[in-house]
Amino acid sequence: MTTIIFANLNLISKFHNDYFREQRRSMVELLRQKGIEDKRVLEVMGELPRELFINPSLHNRAYEDTALPIDCNQTISQPYTVAFMTSLLKVEPGNKVLEIGTGSGYQACLLYLLGAKVFTIERILELYEQANVKFRELGYNINTRYGDGTLGWKEFSPYDRIIVTAASPRIPTSLKEQLAIGGRMVIPVGNKNSQVMCVLERISENDFKEFRNDHFKFVPLIGKEGWESE
Ligand code: SAM
């Protein structure tokens, strides 16, 4: 009897795995059609199951190219946005990467799969704890911190790459200071309704070069160097 139940469970999970793998393949194809060219980014997005990072009631929408709600009124970003930002970040294996806004943990896991040494900060305790459980279950060695990410994580700075996954009114000074010379930061900057994706390169101790890309809409970055809490 036990064997039959297990056999059936295996069949069901095999069905789900195959189903999601196919959906993931279609999502990657769509990202390619929308202009994402970075092969390594497409490869890791084709590997990492997005359904693991969202509520089971939304599993049927896991591979839609849309942001989806997670707990605490926050979101897991749209796959296109994740792919676009990760491509702009140009992560090299071995890079030390700081992410602000752990959220579901999906972006942090992609950075990990790209070979980065990942540090991620989340200001909502519940999300921080959920992400820790996920990283442990996946066996991914990701450094996490609960707190205000607008102040960065000085102890492990400088970072080769910094990615901010929430909307900021400006580029936080602490994050600029913690970026390595030759390093790169990707951050959406603007008002609460619309932001421009900024890429900041640190040329020397005091010189930065800034590029601006398309418009996006993120949940607000709340903290000392971000927006005030509502
Ligand atoms: N990267 C996430 C993912 O892969 O699911 C998506 C992040 S969600 C769009 C933005 C996250 O930033 C939310 O979880 C929010 O709580 C967090 N956040 C906002 N302000 C923050 C701050 N000052 N420090 C750390 N996290 C912050």
Q: pTM for the whole thing?
A: 0.94
Tokens linked to 177 = 């200071």
Tokens linked to 172 = 């936080």
Candidate from 102, 111, 161 with most ligand 1 atoms within 8 A of CB, to mutate: 102
- Please tell me the residue having the least CA distance from ligand 1 atom 17: 101
Residue with tokens 């929430």: 166
pLDDT at site 230: 72
Distance of CA 187 to the CA centre of its chain: 12
Which of 174, 226, 227, 163 has the alpha carbon at shortest distance from 200?
A: 163
Centroid of ligand 1 to alpha carbon of 209 (angstroms): 25
Query: pLDDT digits over 134-192, tens only?
Result: 999 999 999 999 999 999 999 999 999 999 999 999 999 999 999 999 999 999 999 99
Atom of ligand 1 nearest to the CA of 82: 4
The CA-to-CA distance between both ends of the chain, in Å, stands at 55
pLDDT range class, residue 5, cuts 50, 70, 90? very low
Ligand 1, CB cutoff 6 Å, lining residues: 74-77, 100-101, 103-104, 106-107, 121-124, 127, 148-150, 165-166, 218-219, 221-223, 226
pLDDT at site 6: 44
Query: pLDDT digits over 6-15, tens only?
Result: 455 555 566 6
Is 196 within 8 Å of 213 (Cβ atoms)? Answer: yes
Please determine, for residue 3, whether its predicted confidence score (pLDDT) is greater than 50: no
pLDDT at site 10: 56
Please determine, for residue 201, whether its predicted confidence score (pLDDT) is greater than 80: yes
**CA separation (Å) from 51 to 61, 63, 151?**
8, 8, 31
- Please tell me the residue having the least CA distance from ligand 1 atom 14: 103
Distance between CA atoms of residues 112 and 102, nearest Å: 13
Query: pLDDT digits over 64-123, tens only?
Result: 999 999 999 999 999 999 999 999 999 999 999 999 999 999 999 999 999 999 999 999
Atom of ligand 1 nearest to the CA of 70: 5
Please determine, for residue 194, whether its predicted confidence score (pLDDT) is greater than 90: yes
Is 189 within 8 Å of 169 (Cβ atoms)? Answer: yes
Centroid of ligand 1 to alpha carbon of 11 (angstroms): 36
pLDDT at site 18: 83
Centroid of ligand 1 to alpha carbon of 14 (angstroms): 33
Q: What is the 3-state secondary structure (H, E, C) of 97-152?
A: EEEECCCCCHHHHHHHHCCCEEEEEECCHHHHHHHHHHHHHHCCCCEEEECCHHHC
28 exposure class (CB count in 10 Å sphere: 0-12, 13-18, 19+): buried
pLDDT at site 15: 65
Mean pLDDT of the 211-230 span: 93
Kindly list the catalytic residues: 77
**189-209 per-residue burial string, b: 16 or more CB within 10 A, e: under 16:** bbeeeebebbbbebeeeeeee
Quick one: which H or E segment has residue 53? none
Is 52 within 8 Å of 113 (Cβ atoms)? Answer: no
Which of 1, 88, 74 has the alpha carbon at shortest distance from 41?
A: 88
Domains of the chain, with CATH numbers?
A: 65-216 (3.40.50.150)
